[in-house]
Amino acid sequence: MSWATRRRERNDWRLERKVVLYECSKYIQEFANIPLEARISNPQPDVIPRPSHNISRANISPYALKVLYRLREAGHRACLVGGGVRDLLLGREPKDFDVATDARPEQVYALFRNCRLIGRRFRLAHVQFGREIVEVATFRACGEIGDEGDGQTVERAKDGRILSDNVYGSIEDDAWRRDFTINALYYDIANFAVLDYVGGMADLKTGLIRLIGDPAERYHEDPVRMLRAVRFAAKLGFRLDPATEAPLQRLGHLLEQIPPARLFDEILKLFMGGSAIQTFELLRHYRLFGWLFPATERCLNHQQRHYPKTLLIRVLTNTDQRLAEGKPVQPAFLFAALLWEPFRERLQHLEEDESDANEAHLVAAEAVIQAQIRHTSLPRRYSLPMREIWEMQQRLTCITGKRPLRLLAHPRFRAAYDFLLLRAEADESAGDLAGWWTRLLAQDESGRDRMTQPAAPAKKSKSRRRRKPRSARKDAPAAPPAPEA
């Protein structure tokens, strides 16, 4: 073969190789653009056997294990799923343990004496062990007309929202209808392996929150998923996948369709999960906060002095700190902070023409609560102590006579005093008052008596002044702190 022929052949071969590489890169690019479901035509999961993952039964609640084993002994498939698997894989302590099974809710009910069935939209079994509840869900499918289920199909509202979701299916179906890939990992009690149908392990490794399926569609199906995306991003310090993130800023209005009671539950999870600060910042960034607390959002937007934001930030930081130290946090305290600025604004307006300060307080608190419960519910067991915390901010300004000493015995005193301290950190005008109460608390009984003694009466003038009638009196401004002993 001549040299020229060889060269031509070599060039042909090079060209051929280029074409192959080009085809491959085109394929890889196309593959990356294919939605997650379509990429996996094979429903077989990635199986991560026990030696290749870190989930140990020693870290699983004994009650969850009991439920898993009993379901298995009764011939059912039983897996740990959701936050429990996710958090264990990340080396974190799970908040709770969720079980998924092929047993129907009635079959679960028959297996456990301590079980009750709950939910209409999503029928579940709760197995109760003292204060711990293990939630057991039957594998669900997406569900089309005529699918097998609880005698129903998936019921949807006109806007795409899922109203009831009780169509049962296989474990594969169940994986695809969960929210995020990292929440769709199964720990199978049969062989202690982790099953991954949706690429959750890879996202867990790279720290990515990725919705399964088409994000906008999945948010329309259940708008609470937007809050969940933010909650997991804040709690785990993960990034949102760009496609999961993109619709958030424009779909916040969908939250208006969610029943206020469900939103209230979500708010507690958002702000009492230990990452309240990051959650708040993300909610505001994605314009979701305003759909939960419209009055507060308005105040935040038109505030000049940044006061409410700082108070709220202080309270949220404090909440995170307390939770990290294992201390309890009160929802009433949190709501008192979240709605404090709308309350203060209303009070200011009312006090301009309302002569009775107590009346103005009542009216302002009622108005703020009524406006808020149109968006999220606020059960009375929380709104009552919240009102007391607000009301006591006024009563704490009275620092002479018997009243401050009586206040010390009030069941809400500690919360009100803590609230005052945080206000003082955020707003200098409360600093002197907070300092006075801190000093009072440090005194013994006689010291407290000395501190609360009224200032020496001014010399009596001859002309006797008549008191205004009660209704015409505004609460007198607080006397300056009495000199300490």
Residues at the interface with ligand ATP (CB under 6 A):
82-83, 95-96, 98, 178-179, 183-184, 222, 224-225, 269
C-beta closer to ligand ATP: residue 83 or 149: 83
Q: What are phi and psi of 197, to 5 degrees?
A: -95, -15
Among ligand ATP, Mg ion, none, the one that 183 touches (CB under a kind-dependent 5 to 8 A) is ligand ATP
C-beta closer to Mg ion: residue 81 or 350: 81
DSSP secondary structure string, 25-59?
A: HHHHHHHHHS-HHHH--S-PPEEE-GGGS---GGG
User: Within 154-173, which residues bind Mg ion (CB under 5 A)?
Assistant: none
Q: In the complex, what is the shortest distance from the CB of residue 243 to ligand ATP, in angstroms, rounded to a whole number?
A: 17
Q: In the complex, what is the shortest distance from the CB of residue 360 to ligand ATP, in angstroms, rounded to a whole number?
A: 40
Q: Does 183 bind Mg ion (CB under 5 A)?
A: no
129: left (phi over 0), alpha (psi -120 to 50) or beta: beta
Q: Kindly name the residue from 87, 102, 165, 179 that is annotated as catalytic.
A: 179
Which residues make Cβ contacts (< 8 Å) with residue 387, sequence separation at least 6?
365, 369
Which residue, chain included where needed, has tokens 């990292």?
Answer: 182
Among Mg ion, ligand ATP, none, the one that 225 touches (CB under a kind-dependent 5 to 8 A) is ligand ATP
Instruction: State yes or no: is 196 an active-site residue.
Output: no
C-beta closer to ligand ATP: residue 236 or 407: 236
Q: Does 79 bind Mg ion (CB under 5 A)?
A: no
Q: Does 224 bind Mg ion (CB under 5 A)?
A: no
Instruction: State yes or no: is 98 an active-site residue.
Output: yes
Q: Kindly name the residue from 96, 214, 418, 427 that is annotated as catalytic.
A: 96
- CA atoms within 13 Å, Cβ hemisphere of 158: 0
Residues 93-122: x where in contact with Mg ion by CB under 5 A, - otherwise, as a string: ---x-x------------------------
Among ligand ATP, Mg ion, none, the one that 222 touches (CB under a kind-dependent 5 to 8 A) is ligand ATP
Q: In one letter, which amino acid is 462?
A: K
Q: Does 81 bind Mg ion (CB under 5 A)?
A: no
C-beta closer to ligand ATP: residue 178 or 423: 178
The answer to whether residues 450 and 416 touch, using CB atoms and an 8 Å cutoff, is no
What share of residues in the chain are helix, strand, coil (percent, to 5)?
Answer: 55, 10, 35
d(CA 201, CA 208) in angstroms, rounded, equals 10
Among ligand ATP, Mg ion, none, the one that 174 touches (CB under a kind-dependent 5 to 8 A) is none
Q: In the complex, what is the shortest distance from the CB of residue 135 to Mg ion, in angstroms, rounded to a whole number?
A: 7
Instruction: State yes or no: is 179 an active-site residue.
Output: yes
Among Mg ion, ligand ATP, none, the one that 356 touches (CB under a kind-dependent 5 to 8 A) is none
Cβ-closest position to ligand ATP:
83
Decide the pairing of beta strands 239-240 and 208-209. parallel
- Of 17, 163, 187, 25, nearest in space to 101 by CA: 187
Q: Does 178 bind Mg ion (CB under 5 A)?
A: no
Q: In the complex, what is the shortest distance from the CB of residue 96 to Mg ion, in angstroms, rounded to a whole number?
A: 4
CA 419 → CA 251, 324, 385, 425, distances in Å? 34, 19, 12, 10
How many CB atoms sit inside 10 A of residue 60's CB?
19
C-beta closer to ligand ATP: residue 272 or 378: 272
Q: Does 133 bind Mg ion (CB under 5 A)?
A: no
Q: Does 83 bind Mg ion (CB under 5 A)?
A: yes
Among ligand ATP, Mg ion, none, the one that 208 touches (CB under a kind-dependent 5 to 8 A) is none
C-beta closer to ligand ATP: residue 179 or 320: 179
Q: In the complex, what is the shortest distance from the CB of residue 231 to Mg ion, in angstroms, rounded to a whole number?
A: 11
Among ligand ATP, Mg ion, none, the one that 448 touches (CB under a kind-dependent 5 to 8 A) is none
What token pair was written down for 197? 């149908």
C-beta closer to ligand ATP: residue 82 or 331: 82
What token pair was written down for 356? 């009775």
Which residues make Cβ contacts (< 8 Å) with residue 7, sequence separation at least 6?
none
- Of 420, 280, 224, nearest in space to 336 by CA: 420
Q: In the complex, what is the shortest distance from the CB of residue 228 to ligand ATP, in angstroms, rounded to a whole number?
A: 6
Burial profile 169-206: b = 16 or more Cβ within 10 angstroms, e = fewer: bebbbbbbbbbbbbbbbbbbbeeebbbbbbbbbebbee
Decide the pairing of beta strands 78-81 and 185-188. antiparallel
C-beta closer to ligand ATP: residue 82 or 342: 82
Catalytic residue numbers read: 96, 98, 179
Residues that bind Mg ion (CB under 5 A): 82-83, 96, 98
